[in-house]
Structure 1
Amino acid sequence: MALTVVRFLFPAGSAAVRVGSVVQKAGIHTSTVRSLQYGWWAYALGERTTPRLKQYSKIISVDGNLASGKGALAQKLADKLGMLYMPEADIFYLDKMTKEKESLPLDFNGMCSLEKFYTDPKAADGNSYRLQLWMYVMRLMQYSDAIEHLLTTGQGVVLERSPFSDMVFLDAMFKQGYIRKECVEHYNEIRNISICEFLPPHLVIYVDQPAEEVQKKLKQSGKSYLQNVPLQYLKSIEDSYKKVFLPNIREKSELLAYDATQVQDVEQVAEDIEYLTFEKGPWLEQDDVSYHHMRMLVEDKQRVSILTHIPKFLPEITIGAHDYDEKYYAYKSLPGKKYAPGYNEDVGDKYIWLK
């Protein structure tokens, strides 16, 4: 049983999932039980998406190597253009979606560790591929949040990386011998059946920072596990960006590339965006009918998560039925998890019999 299903158990009637810590200008509407949930009847009664789309109703992905300065650029650019900034998704992004007060144990977040990856990338327990697959799923979930926010409010979103660029890490891991060929095949199969359901970013901004400079920055990091990242791994990420991702994405999205010093001039970057014509890519082919189906997909997080599951055995990401059963009931035994939100006496929910 694929371990990635452990947390994707949103029961029908679960409470609204809402990302609180990433909202800058407006809320992200991601609920399965909103009182005014968008659906077929909303569309039939005249709800349309295109009237709310403006000049900067766009998805912008800022990409680059580790510690390249993409995060600072993304946040400043969002402020400048009046867009929503969403920091890079991490292992615990699902906890943010479900509004956990504290991050849940790793057993309920992919059973993988970023720190372990950097200290022991060839760990025999398959941590590296579990991490890679889990991060792809988290980026896909975040991207669905971004599209839902765009279509629901008309406000554009600036992301740090996207599921479309996630494969650069897979390539780097494989080149360094951190994962097996079978893992690459499994990842590509998952990616091919899921990424096709989403439109690529309108614009990709690539921050070009040489791997040697990236390594210097990481050595100065306060996180000890980042101070010994191999230079060859960082070079592999850079090569994958330049030789695979960027040539492919420029066919579907606008592309701007800057070096690490140029991105400090946010005014210039914003001006360059203003002059883009956005005359290519699948977004041009969309209308209110396709936007309707897109909204129906991205607001259904269970449906999005199912896109990443296939019935295939792979030791790195498969757990036995007994282990799964144990983890499932351990999760349900956590405070407020036994029943749908709002129906759990153990966390102080009241008047349950009236709901």
Structure 2
Amino acid sequence: MATTTHSPITRAYSSSSKIIVLEGNISAGKTYLSNKLGQSLDYKVFLEPTTTNPYLQQFYAEPKRYALDMQLWLLNQRYNTYLAALDYALNNDNSGVVLDRSMFSDWVFAENCRKEGLISPEGFKQYTAIRDSMLLNVPIPNITLYLNVSPSECLRRIQSIRKRTIPLTYLEGLDICYQEFLKEIKLKGSNVITFDWNQFGEVDDIVTEIKKDISSTSPSLLLSKNIIGNLVKNREDITSTYQTELSFMHKESLSSTSSSAAVVQDKNNA
């Protein structure tokens, strides 16, 4: 059963430019459903760009040291993917795009890491500043489709399908942060549609809900090539800022590690 929430705020592109983002906890079923929706709607699918994540193994080994580095990398990847999706939607007026997560929900993972103490207050402030710069003037999705799966069911799927495990408390934290995120994206103008996906569901039911939104004639602003051009230019500036910040944090991390090691050595020699 779907729960649909409409925001009174106008979406920032034409009804013919269809941006759909799938959201949900880890192993909720987003990637599979993204591909199925792309086939059913004849939309281009943009999957989450995490397969080449250079920080994943380091994060698993030392989560507190690499959490911010990895989150900034993911934010940058998701930003570029979202701009590519916008560009495609603009230049293919009779089509649309489906994204497996987006730059908007990247906050869910950063906030959860902050709460767990994996990202420091200073690091989170840096993350927020970069994210705010990226979000400036970026249109929100027409539809945010949320697959609602309990943390315990996500854990069962991770263990049975991915053959690994994640602390249940981590998944529970993501679930809480996702509820905050959905309220935010709704207020910004996206149509939030929630599906209970604990037992999975029928793709046709979701397609029906999406088509209801697509057929809406509510007024909206048109995206233009000039806006896309400005976003691309902004992307170059922000990417440069991201690389500078990351380089600075690497130096700070190495300096901190060296200082800590020196202190330990001094104590051992005392």
- If the TM-score is normalised by the length of the shorter chain, which range does it land in? 0.7 to 0.9
Q: Which residue of 2 aligns with 1:248?
A: 184
Cα distance between partner residues in 1 of 2:216 and 2:27: 29
1:5-154 equivalent positions in 2, closer than 5 A: 55=16, 57-90=17-50, 92=52, 112-122=54-64, 126-154=65-93
| 183 and 279 in structure 1: CA distance in 2 versus 1, 3 angstrom threshold | farther
Q: Which residue of 1 aligns with 2:264?
A: none
Cα distance between partner residues in 1 of 2:132 and 2:237: 13
| 305 and 238 in structure 1: CA distance in 2 versus 1, 3 angstrom threshold | farther
Provide structure 1 residue ranges, at least 5 long, that are not aligned to the other structure.
1-49, 93-108, 321-355
Q: Which residue of 1 aligns with 2:212?
A: 275
1:297 alignment partner, one of 218, 227, 230: 230
| 163 and 310 in structure 1: CA distance in 2 versus 1, 3 angstrom threshold | closer
AA aligned to 1:131 is M
Q: Percent identity?
A: 27
Cα distance between partner residues in 2 of 1:259 and 1:158: 19
Higher helix residue share: 2
SS, match of residue 250 in structure 1: helix
Give the TM-score normalised by the residue count of structure 2: 0.78
Give the TM-score normalised by the residue count of structure 1: 0.61
Asked if 1:162 is matched to 2:162, the reply is no
SS, match of residue 164 in structure 1: coil
Provide structure 2 residue ranges, at least 5 long, that are not aligned to the other structure.
1-12, 253-270
AA aligned to 1:250 is K
Q: Which residue of 1 aligns with 2:147?
A: 207
Show CA shifts across 1:88-137 (max 9, x none). Answer: 11263xxxxxxxxxxxxxxxx7xx42133234322xxx311100000000
AA aligned to 1:68 is A
Higher strand residue share: 2
Show CA shifts across 1:315-350 (max 9, x none). Answer: 873449xxxxxxxxxxxxxxxxxxxxxxxxxxxxxx
TM-superposed CA distance for 1:284, in Å, is 1.1
Cα distance between partner residues in 1 of 2:70 and 2:190: 28
1:202 and 1:278 in contact (8 A); partners too: no
Total equivalences in the alignment: 236
Higher relative contact order (CA 8 A, sep 6+): 2
2:173 alignment partner, one of 211, 236, 239: 236
